[in-house]
Amino acid sequence: MSDTPIYLVAIAYDDEFKADEARILVRRAQDEGISDVIETAVVVLQRNGKKRLTQDIDLEAKSRNVGHWLGIAAALITGIPPLIFVGTAVGEIVGRLTDTGILTSDLKGAARKLQPGTSALFVLAHEAVPRGAMAQRLAPLGGHVMRATLPTALEDELDRILEPTPAPDVTASTS
């Protein structure tokens, strides 16, 4: 097991599509060896108020599904139909206890904090992400740190990098 600390960073965006764009940038950076990302997730609160949660790995759902199928198998073997529900419940509990990634409950909590038409990117990584080249890639998308397990100085640095730079004033006269 690695002694490298694991950090969680959630970046909120003022647009419902920017978190998906940022996720692509994070994954490309990982493919290029710039970052060591364990998992990413996106939370979107659409303009109509509907939530969309997407995760790379949803261990809770996988365990629930395995438990459900084991319950069906046990019910078929024993002839006791309630075992299906018992299997599903046990799978849910095992999933919650063994989920080492981004928790679904954290994503749902973030969705409650978002305004309609906004989104958030969650990044779980072995380094104080995003820093350096990674942060510079995300900077054009703007955003602000919604939640982080980073040291305060790093969180402030990331927020500063993500601040949108004001557009140049093109209405000034050149005469």
Tens of pLDDT, residues 84-98: 677 666 666 665 554
Confirm if 28 and 133 have CB atoms less than 8 A apart. Answer: no
In this prediction, residues 135-156 reach a mean pLDDT of 83
Euclidean distance between CA atoms 168 and 61, whole angstroms: 48
User: Which pLDDT tens digit goes with each residue over 30-73?
Assistant: 888 877 788 889 999 999 999 998 887 655 666 566 666 677 77
CATH-assigned architecture of domain 7-56+101-162 = 3-Layer(aba) Sandwich (3.40)
User: Sorting pLDDT into bands at 50, 70 and 90, what band is 130?
Assistant: very low
Spell out the domain ranges in the chain. 7-56+101-162, 60-97
Find how far residue 82's CA is from the centre of its chain. 35
CB atoms within 10 A of CB 24: 10
Higher pLDDT, 110 or 167: 110
Question: What mean pLDDT is predicted for residues 8-22?
Answer: 92
